[in-house]
A and B are shown apart, each in its own frame.
Chain A
Amino acid sequence: MTDSAPSSLSSVERKTKSFGASNTSATWKINSTVGGKLPGLDPIFTNDKKYFIVLFPFELRVYLFATKQCVKNIPVNVSGASDMYLDEEDKVWIATTSGSCQIVNLQDKSIISTFDFGVPILKIVNIQESENKFLVISSKISDKKDASKKPTVSRQLLELTDSSNGERKDWNVSTVFSVKNSTLSAISNNKLFFALYTSHKNTEQIQVIQLNQDFTINKTVIVNRSRAVSSMSISDAGILAIGSVTGVIDLYYHVFAEPTPSIRALKWHVDSVLSLSFSLDGDYLLSGGKERVLVFWQLETDNMQFLPRLGDDIMNIVVDKSSELYALRLGDDEIVVLSSIDLNSRLQISGVKASFSKLPSEPEKEKRKRKNRENGAERVGDYTVPFYLHPKNNQVYLPINNGSKMQVYDLKRDEQLYVQTIAETLQTGKVKIEEQIQDPQITKVGFTIDGEWMATVDEKVTPPIDNLLSGKDKEINLKFWKHSEKTNKWELATRVNSPHGLGKSIHSVIPAPESYYGGQAFLTASQDGGVKLWRPREPKEIKDKIPVNKAGVAPNTKSRQISWTVRKLIPAGPLTSSAVTLGWSDDASVIVLGFETSIYIIDAQTFEVTKTLPNIMGSRCRSLHIVGTYIVALSKTRVAVYDLLNDRLNWSIQVWSPQGGHRLLAFDRVNNRFALSINYFTTEFKPASKIFIFTPETPLPLHIQYHNNAVSALRNVQGTSNYIFIDINSRIHILSFSGRSSYKSLAQSTLSPSVEFTKGISVLYSTSKQNIVSQQASSIVAEEDQVEQVLSVHTLEKVFDGSEYNIMNIETMFEKVLGTINKPLPKN
């Protein structure tokens, strides 16, 4: 099944594209890509300490410390980059694990040349002799014939000399040293001391090598270790510092001294020492780990100094040449530059900190997983990510992993604006058992249409550490934030404790449409199906106290406190479910509530359930939207479009939607379209995705956008036909519309009889408009007289629901639809 699927997919895709070209002007294309995770490369300080060079997912950026602004960005090929090296002439060499190397000139922002070393490069140690002689650390995988044994990986120091007269094609390779099974290495700043850690068959060793100035081996020594090593650093004087997983740092003063070097243990860390670095004069040792505390050890006096409460675990420390600035790479994709004098930050650089529920594993593993499964082999995991788009300025809001903070990312500037803390939390690192203490988690975020208000829901679970009576309590807060024009930040206006009763989670938060009090309202639904409508109001007490203002002061009254209160409610039912979702029609008159498999229609005025829809979803609901007069429902197993006015199912197709599937359905209020992203595995078991853009009228997508990675969230840019999506590499893509504005033009063009292909669709259209065909009349579509046969959506639904097609995915379905309604097109 999975083997045949992709081929049929591609054929469908081809057809659709031609269809799109001939009949519609509505096409979408990805026109910009931003964000992404920072490649974990060490940033570079320029020699004059004015600039700071960081490699971004698409480019090299140069920041100026004085203004904290990015002053240069140079697009480079980042894939596989392993090291950056800044030479004396302001050229940056970017080496990759595949061996290729790019030389970037910072002055005129251009790539001078690209060449290949021929060996995988882990680090460029030195460049000499007018750029013809390179000293690099490379990795080598032993080419053992014995397949049963794992190949051993060695780290080598290679001296590469260009033998092709400056063309950098052929290399004379001479190995200075090679260490087997090495996973970690440290180099002193003067490039004379090397430490390589090997861990093999329960022996933990560190090989320390001292080179002479001409890069020949002077001395080597092996230090045996009893504990696993988590980080290493070696100073210019040859002092070796080793951080262990237990938190002890061992200092080896004279490594080469016989018989045993003098060891000193530095104890402060409780958990693994993740990063170690000597200051360049060797006076200080800096260490950091999960405690989120930067520790300064003054080696001579035994004094310690701490810089606590950093943003995340300290993964790496880079010291500038004068030891005045420290660059810390923090766990969640962030680089902070600190001044060693006042320990204030000088610069902060951050990537996209999306927290994925799950990421696909290696293709091999996925393949194995799916081998034995007959049904649902095409299913992919829940690779979605909480991703919210501000409706006005299109800033991206991303709740940060394991925290109560939210990153605000600007797509235009392609940088993090700030991080907003949503719930009270201590900004300290957690080690060992403390990790069980969870910070409040942001579960839902919503914005009003005008972008002035933000509603957030956070949940805090009592840690299971002590066997307390309150052990399973959930503390839930609904917070309403006002955007402050003055500070350009969010200010908390109202916090609502247990908004739906004690321990009741909120599963849906949606803003009101524009037509309802200018959109100044939110609707929430809880796990037990209770719905509450919230609107802002100034508290009575304050209102009474302040005398009526003169006309001139009126606008200032806005700054006063505003409280959000419940205005309407639907009481909760006895059942609880995690599948609760809400939708609100554009004219604000109808609310739909999805609870498990049922859909309830609620009158927004009276707040009464007026109707219960038939089971059109067939499984637990994921997301509901009212698009025009249609309800678009995404459930675990299908997408269904229900015509509210004619009270019948318009069409439905079978898709398999993961837990976070609601994030993959975006809906365009203005043009009444919606987009659905489907992730799937290619034949190589690599995740890929297709984004389908539909109108509620037909199951024929307007557009299919292929993306070579799994999509994690898809959102519409409010007021436009554009969509923004984020993939599992944290890259944010803008899918923009290029064509005529309304789908109506498309509908007209498809109705024109001259176009051969649309004949089938026109039949479909006319029938759906006249609404005359009963389900029985078209129960079976005969192969022969199919064009004459009057089609209805119900017919199509029958086709889709046929049990033998159960395991088909959306592409095959689509093809089937085409085949059914359009005879001239050859099948398969």
Chain B
Amino acid sequence: MSSNTPLISSKFDKSNTLFASAITALDVNKVRVQSVGSDKTFSSELTLDKNVSVQSISWASTTSPNKKNDPKKRKTTESQIDDNQTSVVAIGTNKGEILLYSPAQAAVISTLAGEHTFPVTSFAQKWSCDTNGQIVEWDISKKFSTRSFTFFDTEVRHIKPICDDKLLIASHTIYLVDPADASKPIAQFPGHVSQVHSIIPSNANSELFLTAADNDRFVNIYSINSQKNVGVLVAQSNIKSMTLSESDDSLAVVTEDGLVEIFINPFVASSSLVGRRSAAVSSKASISQFKIVRPVVGVKKDTVFIDNVAIEENQIIVTWVENAANSTFDKIPWRDETGRTIEGLIETTKARQTTIGAAAERATNAIDSAAPQGYAESHAIVTAGNNVAELSSDEENEDEDQDSTLAERLEALGVSKDSEESKKSITSKPQSTDKAPSAGSLTVMLSQALKTNDHSLLEACLASRDETVIKNTIERLDSSLAVKLLERLAEKVSRAPSRSGQLNIWIRWVMVTHGGYLVSLPHLIKTLGSLHITLSSRVSTLPRLLALQGRLEMLNAQMELRHDILNSSKRIGEDDDDEDDEAEVEYIEDDEGVYLNGEDSDDEDDFEEDSDVEDEDMQEDGYIGLDAEIDDGPNGEESEGAYSDLEVDDSEEVEDLSEDNSESEDETETKAKLLKAKAKLNGRR
């Protein structure tokens, strides 16, 4: 056996869901059964006594007598649980005992002893064989031997019962034996020069079987009827173990190099040769090889040594050892979806799993088995329901349908020519201001930018804020580029919503100028899907913003009212009533306790208090006002705000503020207002 793996022996169970392996842990041997797969749903372990070492491992099934006698047992549970309970791992030990270990109960349920005195090298179904050539048949449920004989060739190490109650017993030669008459083998199959370690009879054709031996690259195919070697499968290096698929159509072998090789239809080629009575036995090479490598570090590629393989319909399950002790599994497809075999050398890269990483993962994720499966969105694609970019367009009727829909939606956006013109008349004012006249049109630049996907050039075009320029540019733009421009615009708006005010002008003019062309386009809803999402998601915030605006307006009005009342009451106080002020002063005095200063300081206090109130008021106004001015001032274009959803509020606020300001005698400057308030108060004194 190769020294590349710590596993002494390993086996998959029949259904390929459990994997039994024997490992050496310090000075004792352990047998571990775990579920196949990355989730460790099942794992149980048996530690053998000191000095007891595992010679062989195999899966067997046993039926417990209690189960069967229980008539009340319900069917469904029975099948499942019985499966679990009756499949046991038979462990042949060097002490000549066979331990039957039940993974479900995590206990040795029975020990078959008393017959073998030498290490048990093989156990199959109910037959076992030891290093002294003794062959024993067991009744597993009753735990005693039913038959026992010593074979003349004491070198035999492997045993395999086949149909008709015959046995195949192998040293380097394979003997076909009838247990009833064990003295003389029925047939001998020479061919291997070293100890045979696996015999697999064909599932379909009971007269054929495969053998593999230690330090041998060949799998021999023997026919029982013709009693000779009918074919050879040649692996690329010495074979460690092999597995035949259920349908006989493929054979997977694990080689000492740690590769898995797959032979297709191992029996087929050879049987055809038998028919032709060819003198030479046919040889066949593997069709595909599987290799697991570590990610390349430097020049060297580390190969992972595969311990064992199980073959399924379209994939193989390979297992290898990580961190010197942990068996890890992976499923690799060996046929593609069409059922074609994937040929050649297939390398799978697996990063080394570090214990630190695994432990850390467990610690950070803290997945307790009792906890529910968490919700993980990190690998998911998040999209919105109104994303119709992928609307299928292979039907014609649909297009008409969609056209009208989009038309309706666009209409809902309020883009119509009439309103445009009326808007234009409003916005014509800034045009007439003495701003530097622009070059008139950026069409050439824009088309170039769109054609070459030049983002910076496009950005330069879009930086233009002069509406005439925009209009001119778009008017001269080729209609075929309009769609592209709209897509770019939508992208930009969705990335930076704050730019929508400026970009909306572009969108509007594209719609106005090229609307006719756009409507004639097929699959419009699909093409302009991104624009639609962007706009509709922005529109959807409008009701909420209106509600917010309403609330803010009311707050504002309330503040104003309070402000007015305060002012008027102050004026009244100035006129005739000084007592109020004094009372106020006294109150503060009381509050402060040891306050014994003159009236001056009282005044100050008073002032501060009052101005605080006013401050708040003014800050509220001032904040909005300043904001609006920055937005509005440099551009001097009201129309801009009017077309963006977000800035509708602002423009309203501007109006509010202007009213506010017109009422007060002073300028909008906050400081000035403060000063004024101070002066007012001082005046009162």
Residues of A with Cβ closer than 8 Å to B? 31-34, 58, 64, 66-71, 73, 75, 108-110, 309, 311, 336, 344-345, 347-348, 404-405, 411-414, 418-425, 427, 469-470, 478-479, 485-502, 532, 535, 537, 539, 551-552, 554-556, 561-563, 565-569, 571, 605-608, 734
Contacts and interface: CB of A to CB of B under 8 A. Distances in A.
B381 A34 contact: no
A499 B385 CA distance: 3
Interface in B348-386: 368-377, 379-386
A109 B333 contact: no
Nearest to B78: A73
Contact of B390 (A348, A412, A470, A537): A537
A414 B382 contact: no
B376 A67 contact: no
Contacts of A491: 376, 379
B456 interface: no
Contacts of A32: 74-76
A734 B343 CA distance: 46
A607 B70 CA distance: 58
A493 B79 CA distance: 35
Contacts of A478: 385
Nearest to B409: A571
Contacts of A490: 373
Contacts of B391: 566-569
A497 B85 contact: no
A555 B334 CA distance: 10
A405 B371 CA distance: 11
Contact of A606 (B39, B343, B397): B397
A551 B338 CA distance: 11
A492 B395 contact: no
Contacts of A68: 42, 369
A34 B382 CA distance: 38
Contacts of B70: 109-110
B558 interface: no
Interface in B397-446: 397-398, 401, 405
A419 B370 CA distance: 9
B344 interface: yes
A535 B390 CA distance: 10
17 contacts: A64-B106, A66-B44, A69-B104, A73-B77, A109-B70, A311-B372, A345-B369, A347-B370, A348-B370, A420-B372, A424-B375, A469-B548, A488-B39, A492-B376, A497-B382, A565-B387, A606-B395
Contact of B73 (A75, A494, A562): A75
Nearest to B386: A501
A159 B70 CA distance: 35
A414 B372 contact: no
A561 B44 contact: no
The 3 closest A-B pairs by CB, nearest first: A499-B385, A345-B370, A419-B372
Interface string B332-346: 010011000011101
Contacts of A425: 375
B547 interface: yes
Given A67-B104, A70-B81, A497 B392 contact: no
Contacts of B346: 552
Contact of B385 (A487, A492, A496, A556): A496
Contacts of B547: 469
A367 to B, nearest CB: 36
Contacts of A486: 37-38, 331
Nearest to B393: A567
Contacts of A66: 44, 106
B480 to A, nearest CB: 22
A554 B72 CA distance: 51
Given A69-B84, A606-B397, A566 B336 contact: no
A492 B380 contact: yes
B528 to A, nearest CB: 15
A561 B378 CA distance: 11
A495 B381 CA distance: 6
Contact of B331 (A64, A485, A489, A495): A485
Contact of B370 (A109, A311, A424, A492): A311
B264 to A, nearest CB: 15
Contacts of B104: 64, 67, 69, 71
Contact of A424 (B38, B72, B377): B377
Contacts of A487: 37-39
Nearest to A555: B333
A569 to B, nearest CB: 7
A561 B379 contact: yes
A423 B375 CA distance: 6
B103 interface: yes
Contacts of A33: 74
Nearest to B397: A606
B388 interface: yes
Given A422-B375, A537-B390, A411 B76 contact: yes
Contacts of B42: 67-69
Contact of B395 (A58, A539, A605): A605
B392 A563 contact: no
B389 interface: yes
A427 to B, nearest CB: 8
Contacts of A344: 368
B457 to A, nearest CB: 23
Contacts of B381: 493-495, 539, 561-563
A412 B80 contact: yes
Nearest to A493: B380
Contacts of B401: 607-608
A35 to B, nearest CB: 11
B13 to A, nearest CB: 15
Given A492-B377, A566-B388, 19 more contacts: A32-B75, A67-B43, A68-B42, A68-B369, A345-B370, A424-B375, A427-B371, A469-B544, A469-B547, A488-B39, A492-B380, A495-B382, A496-B387, A502-B540, A555-B333, A556-B333, A565-B383, A568-B391, A568-B398
B664 interface: no
| Interface-central residue, B39, B344, B380, B382, by most chain A CB under 10 Å | B380
A607 B382 contact: no
Given A75-B74, A487-B38, A501-B386, A336 B398 contact: no
B371 A311 contact: yes
A571 B412 CA distance: 15
B491 to A, nearest CB: 13
B194 interface: no
Contacts of A605: 395
A498 B395 contact: no
Contact of A336 (B77, B370, B373): B370
Contact of A67 (B105, B331, B384): B105
B376 A498 contact: no
A488 B369 CA distance: 14
A398 B431 CA distance: 66
B37 A418 contact: no
Contacts of A423: 375
Given A108-B66, A502-B540, A568-B392, A67 B103 contact: yes
Contact of A109 (B66, B373, B382): B66
A311 B368 CA distance: 11
A567 B392 contact: yes
A413 B75 contact: no
Contacts of B385: 478, 496-501, 532, 566
Contact of B344 (A108, A552, A561): A552
A392 B38 CA distance: 22
A555 B374 contact: no
B106 to A, nearest CB: 4
Interface in B103-125: 103-106
B40 to A, nearest CB: 11
A239 B384 CA distance: 60
Contacts of A502: 540
Nearest to B44: A67
B383 A412 contact: no
Contacts of B377: 424, 492, 495
A494 B377 CA distance: 9
